[in-house]
C-alpha cells in the first residue's frame, strides 16, 4: 500500500481564475500520491460562470473551501477578508 502524507499543520491556498481544468488536475495529483493537508482553500477572483460550476462539481470529489467574491477586487482582498478570518 502506498505511503500516506498528511500535512496536518499546513494550509494550502490555491489561486484560481478561469482555470478549472488545471485545478482539477492539481487536486487529483495530490490524491494520486496520497497527499493531504490540514486545510485547502481555493481562491477565485470572479471566474466565468462555467468555471465556478466546475469548481462546485470538484467540491463533491475533493475537500476544499471555495473563496469567491462578487466583484474582482484582487487576490489580496479575498485572502485577507475570507481566508484569514477562518
Burial class (CB in 10 A: 0-12, 13-18, 19+), 42: buried
C-alpha cell at 56: 462546485
Instruction: Give the model confidence (pLDDT) of 5-49 as tens digits.
Output: 999 999 999 988 899 999 999 999 999 999 999 999 998 878 899
Task: Determine the pLDDT at residue 79.
Answer: 59
Looking from the CA of 70 toward its CB, the CA atoms found within 13 Å total 0
What's the CA gap between 42 and 66, in Å, rounded? Answer: 5
Average pLDDT over residues 75-84: 56
Return all residues near 79 (Cβ < 8 A) that are at least 6 apart: 13, 43, 67
Domain ranges of the chain: 5-83
C-alpha cell at 74: 484582487
Amino acid at each position: 500500500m502506498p505511503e500516506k502524507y498528511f500535512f496536518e499543520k499546513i494550509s494550502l491556498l490555491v489561486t484560481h481564475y478561469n482555470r478549472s481544468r488545471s485545478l482539477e488536475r492539481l487536486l487529483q495529483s495530490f490524491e494520486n500520491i496520497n497527499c493531504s493537508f490540514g486545510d485547502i482553500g481555493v481562491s477565485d477572483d470572479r471566474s466565468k460562470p462555467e468555471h465556478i460550476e466546475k469548481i462546485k462539481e470538484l467540491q463533491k470529489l475533493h475537500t476544499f473551501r471555495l473563496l469567491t467574491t462578487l466583484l474582482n477586487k484582487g487576490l489580496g482582498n479575498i485572502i485577507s477578508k475570507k481566508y484569514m478570518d477562518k
